[in-house]
């Protein structure tokens, strides 16, 4: 059963379940983000290690693209509310344009880095790009 090829669930693709065993986030299940790409989450280091051979190519590609292309360009169109959890959109048309640009820059960059077409699981994961805007804004300290 463990070796049956399964594509990660939608919840795993959006960071609400472990990307390896698909266990859902709950009070008893804490998920940690992949420190390389921040795209996928694991319920523990065992799952992270088990998934690494599969995840490695895309993880490295994400990192390479973000280092060279800088996907933080969405930050000026968003800011975190006082509770630090709510994202407020300042300019929806501009945000939509930026999202389209970031997505196409990322997809082009990732394909170049990978030097091959995406496999199904990667396509599913990339379908949610760009994501995690909130933590990126926090990370870059650009609260507005
Ligand atoms: Zn797991
Ligand atoms: Zn990763």
Give CA separation, 10 vs 22, 59, 125, 130, in Å.
9, 18, 9, 15
| CA 29/CA 32 separation, integer angstroms | 10
Model pLDDT for residues 37-57, shown as the tens digit of each residue? 888 999 999 999 999 999 999
What spacing in Å lies between the alpha carbon of 6 and ligand 2's midpoint? 18
Model pLDDT for residues 62-77, shown as the tens digit of each residue? 888 877 655 555 655 6
Model pLDDT for residues 12-22, shown as the tens digit of each residue? 888 889 999 99
Q: Where are the domains of the chain?
A: 10-140
Token pair belonging to 107: 């997809």
Point out the ligand nearest to the CA of residue 42: 1
Give the number of residues written for the chain.
144
Q: What is the pTM of this model?
A: 0.72
Q: Is the pLDDT of residue 8 over 70?
A: yes
What spacing in Å lies between the alpha carbon of 142 and ligand 1's midpoint? 32
3-state percent helix, strand, coil for the chain, nearest multiple of 5:
50, 10, 40
By C-alpha distance, which of 32, 70, 58, 66 is closest to 125?
58
Question: Using the 8-state DSSP alphabet, how is residue 74 labeled?
Answer: G
Model pLDDT for residues 103-134, shown as the tens digit of each residue? 788 888 899 999 999 999 998 888 777 664 54
């Amino acid at each position: 059963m463990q070796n049956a090829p399964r594509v990660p669930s939608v919840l795993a693709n959006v960071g609400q379940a472990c990307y390896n065993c698909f266990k859902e986030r709950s009070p008893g299940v804490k998920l940690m983000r992949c420190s390389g790409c921040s795209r996928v989450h694991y319920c523990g280091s065992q799952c992270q290690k088990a998934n690494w051979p599969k995840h490695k190519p895309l993880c490295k590609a994400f990192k390479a693209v973000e280092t060279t292309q800088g996907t933080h360009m969405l930050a000026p169109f968003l800011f975190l509310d006082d509770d630090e959890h709510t994202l407020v959109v300042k300019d929806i048309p501009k945000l939509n344009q930026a999202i389209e640009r970031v997505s196409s820059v990322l997809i082009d960059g990732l394909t170049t880095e990978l030097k091959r077409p995406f496999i199904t699981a990667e396509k599913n994961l990339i379908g949610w790009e760009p994501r995690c805007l909130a933590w990126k804004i926090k990370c870059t300290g650009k609260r507005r």
